[in-house]
Structure 1
């Protein structure tokens, strides 16, 4: 697993340094714009691999509205992909709309799993 599962991220370090932030922010924006998922109306968290157990559990914790919106975005993007044409520009996801709605749930699930593993491997010793 990559990303949050490893617990390694340079983002806080880069954000804390004004110089590094000036350097990496345009590159990050260019990369996000070039990945084309926004042209299909998707959010970044829509791209997470659903087969991962932690993501499946996080998906079950979404509100009904969030789950519906996610399914709608994925179906609309799939239809646009079948037609080999991105959505009209007014339907693209704007950078300020691209919020991480699923990541907090995934991190919470990972934290619970780590705690569960800690308690499952706990050994009791007699004094």
Structure 2
């Protein structure tokens, strides 16, 4: 899941942020997932152990909402339709709900790996 990201570098440079923001907005709207009522985190591929663990950590309501959004999008795709404009996912609704959990799990696994590979040596006097 952890792909290289230039987001922090872009946000730190206001001139670059002003250039990239309209391009990012255009790309998000062109992707079309918001027209089907999905959020960006709904597009994360589930066949990863880390994502499976993150899905188990979701609250029951968030998990239900996610399944509902995905099923509705599949139904719209099968019928070759999109939602009415007032039902599109708005920018303020498209918040990351799964990505923070995935990052937390990856940090835990990294810490576990570091502790498992820890070598303890005896000090010589």
- How many residues end up aligned between the 2 structures? 123
Shift of 1:13: 1.4
2-side partners of 1:57 and 1:87: how far apart? Answer: 31
For structure 2, the 5+ residue unaligned runs are: none
2-side partners of 1:45 and 1:119: how far apart? Answer: 30
Larger radius of gyration: 2
Q: How does 1:11-30 map to 2 (within 5 A)?
A: 11-30=7-26
2-side partners of 1:57 and 1:91: how far apart? Answer: 30
Shift of 1:96: 1.6
Shift of 1:100: 0.4
Per-residue CA shift, 1:24-59, capped at 9, x if unaligned?
000000000000000010000000010111111111
Corresponding position: 1:32 with 2:28: yes
Shift of 1:91: 1.2
Q: Flag as ranges the 4+ runs of structure 1 deviating above 2 A.
A: none
For structure 1, the 5+ residue unaligned runs are: none
- The equivalent residue for 1:74 is 70
1-side partners of 2:25 and 2:99: how far apart? Answer: 19
